[in-house]
Structure 1
Amino acid sequence: MSAFLARRATAAPRFMRAFSSTSPRELAKITIVGNLAATPEVKATASGREVVEYAVASNSGPRDNRVTSWFKVASFEPEGPRRDYLTNLPKGSTVYVEGNAVMSTVPDANAEGKSRSFLNIYQTNFELLRRNHEAEGSE
Structure 2
Amino acid sequence: MSFLLTPARRMTSAVPSISARTFATTRPSQLARLTLVGRLGADPELTDTGKGQIIKYVVGTSYGPKENRQTSWFRVASFAPEGAQRDYVMGLSKGTLVYLEGDATMRTYDDADGKKQSSLSLVQTKVEVLKRPQPKEEEAIA
TM above 0.5, yes or no, is yes
**Structure-2 change in CA distance of 1:49 and 1:67 (3 Å):** same
SS in structure 2 of the partner of residue 64 of structure 1: helix
1:48 Cα deviation after fit: 4.3
Aligned equivalents of 2:41 and 2:91: distance in 1? 13
Aligned equivalents of 1:56 and 1:42: distance in 2? 16
Q: TM-score, normalised by structure 2?
A: 0.76
What is the number of residues matched between the two proteins? Answer: 126
Determine the structure 2 residue equivalent to 1:13.
15
Percent identical pairs in the alignment equals 43
**Structure-2 change in CA distance of 1:21 and 1:136 (3 Å):** farther
Aligned equivalents of 2:82 and 2:138: distance in 1? 26
1:19-58 maps to which residues of 2 (within 5 A)?
Answer: 21-22=23-24, 25-45=29-49, 47-58=50-61
**Which residues of structure 2 form unaligned runs of 5+?**
1-8
**Which residues of structure 1 form unaligned runs of 5+?**
1-7
Q: TM-score, normalised by structure 1?
A: 0.78
1:90–1:135 Cα contact (<8 Å) kept: no
C-alpha RMSD of the superposition? 2.6
Aligned counterpart in structure 1 of residue 97 of structure 2, from 90, 94, 99: 94
Structure whose residues are more often helix by fraction: 1
